A = this chain, B = another copy of it.
Amino acid sequence: MSSEPMPAIILVEPQMGENIGATARAMLNFGLTDLRLVSPRDGWPNERAVAMASRADIVLENTRVFETTAEAIADLNHVFATTARTRDVIKKIATPRAAAAELRAHAVAGSQTGILFGKESVGLSREDVTLADSIISVPLNPDFSSINLAQAVLLVAYEWFQTGDATPPVQVHNEERPANKAELSHLFDRIERELDARGYFDPIMQRKHVILQNMRNMFQRLGLMESDVRAFQGIIKGLTMKLKDKNNDRDTP
């Protein structure tokens, strides 16, 4: 996968150095290192960007600066524009997840891609959006939609990373072995035997079958480990012991 090109992140007219640094960190958390700036307000290099980037400053060392968006994307085959304003837009609008799938497909095919992000306060201009092939719009709470530049980069970079990450959705680290059906049966049987021996079911004999069935279902559902079964066996053993004699601290006969 290292031979696949990675998407470039292009910040158009970024205002604050801290946001550029934060963008670098957001990118590197998800393996992206191609950062491009178009007319950064405070020029380049930028001390505040370096300070904020901290250990992600490797991204800043390779950052390229351009005067226009067109120049920044000249070598790219497919460009997404990230914007919240999608009215009157004729282009295709994708969620970050759908866009990431397309970005990965382009990368696998060897095509260079890029994602535009606009100025902190106002986003991308209509002209910049026109330069892109498609739009990314992040689904947000319609009553409160306020993510900042680095957060937008983070979410898109996160979705990109998931398309290539092999982490299983769920991992179970069992240091122990789940109890097998014989061990569970043995446990159920013992409980039934001890309850029978104490006449537990005598007043409710017509419900004994259902009660025992529910109990077996419950134990199945709990997903007990082998050590859990042994623990329950210990509890049953303890509960079925005779009470201690309070007077002389010896078992009553």
Interface residues of A (CB under 8 A from B): 25-26, 28-31, 54-56, 86, 89-95, 97-98, 137, 139-141, 143-147, 151, 154-155, 158, 161-162, 165, 167-176
Q: How far is the CA of A173 from the CA of B61 in the complex (A)?
A: 39
Tell whether A144 pairs with B55 under 8 Å between CB atoms, given A139-B161, A154-B154, A158-B155.
yes
A-B contacts besides A28-B144, A54-B146, A56-B146, 12 pairs, CB < 8 Å = A29-B140, A29-B144, A55-B146, A90-B174, A92-B172, A93-B172, A93-B173, A94-B171, A98-B170, A139-B162, A139-B167, A140-B161
Q: How far is the CA of A160 from the CA of B165 in the complex (A)?
A: 19
Give every chain B residue within 8 A of A94 (Cβ-Cβ).
Answer: 169-171
Copies in the complex: 2
Nearest Cβ distance between residue A223 and chain B, in whole angstroms? 10
Tell me which residues across on chain B come within 8 A of A174, comparing CB atoms. 90
In the bound complex, do residue B95 and residue A167 qualify as a contact, i.e. CB atoms below 8 Å apart? yes
* A113 CB, min distance to chain B CBs, angstroms: 16
Residues on the B chain within 8 Å of A146, using CB: 25, 29, 54-56
Taking CB atoms, residues of chain B closer than 8 Å to A175 are 90
Verify B162–A97 contact, CB threshold 8 A. yes
Min distance, Cβ A42 to any Cβ of chain B, angstroms: 23
Which of A144, A154, A165 gathers most chain B CB within 10 Å? Answer: A144
* Complex CA distance for A97 and B146, rounded to whole angstroms: 22
Q: List 20 A-B contacts (CB under 8 A).
A: A29-B144, A30-B141, A31-B143, A54-B146, A56-B144, A90-B175, A90-B176, A91-B173, A92-B170, A93-B170, A94-B169, A94-B171, A95-B169, A97-B169, A139-B162, A139-B165, A141-B161, A147-B154, A154-B155, A155-B155
CA distance A137 to B56 in the complex (A): 21
Q: How far is the CA of A28 from the CA of B146 in the complex (A)?
A: 9
B141 and A171 contacting across the interface, CB-CB below 8 Å: no
CB distance from A136 to the nearest CB of B (A): 11
Contact A93-B171, Cβ < 8 Å, known A55-B144, A139-B161, A154-B154? yes
Residues of B within 8 A of A29 (CB): 140-141, 144-147
